[in-house]
Amino acid sequence: MYYMAYGSNLHPGRLRDRVPTAELCGATTIAGWRLEWHKRSYDGSAKCSIVRATGNSLLCVAVYEFERDHLHLLDTAEGLGNGYEHFELNVTGFGTCLTYRAQTTHIDETLKPYEWYKEFVLLGCEHHGFDGPYLEEIRTVTHCDDPEPNRHSRHMARIAQLQSGQRSS
């Protein structure tokens, strides 16, 4: 099955932490969609979702393939039914791809992402070579501090590993 990543799962190492058999197929853009930072997470911060957009909006995505039997691993990590729902989107060159989007009951425009979450998204964008304006838009997203320092440290350490090309221990 094909999975379309657009947020913190963009980087292959991050996604493989969740679904070890995931293989990167490629990266592309999708017209008419945009990234939003408004999905309320269980931890009180904002996570990414996608919404239809007008004008010249482009969404940068990575497409991965893994066995459908492993979908439950990603469903658990993403919190399927607790803020995210499955959504299918046709991605040129790949066909129908499964992704997640925020359930309307979990959208809160006042929330900010934690720094580490934003850094996972940036890391994935940089890995795939997404263009300057897209990266700059993400860099300008206001983030907040994670009130749990251990969680912050753990995620920042993983980001540093991914930046240096190390595997998860």
Q: Express each pLDDT in 6-63 by its tens digit.
A: 999 999 999 999 999 999 999 999 999 999 999 999 999 999 999 999 888 999 999 9
More confident residue, 165 or 126: 126
pLDDT in tens, 79-90: 999 999 999 999
Tokens read off for 46: 């904002």
Kindly tell me if the per-residue pLDDT of 168 is higher than 60: no
Strand order in the sheet with 23-31: 23-31, 58-65, 2-5, 95-102, 84-91
pLDDT in tens, 141-162: 999 999 999 999 999 999 999 9
Report the C-alpha gap between 160 and 164 in whole angstroms.
6
Mean pLDDT of the chain: 96
From the list 53, 19, 8, the residue with the least C-alpha distance to 33 is 53
Checking if the pLDDT of 169 tops 50, the result is no
Domains of the chain: 2-164 (3.10.490.10)
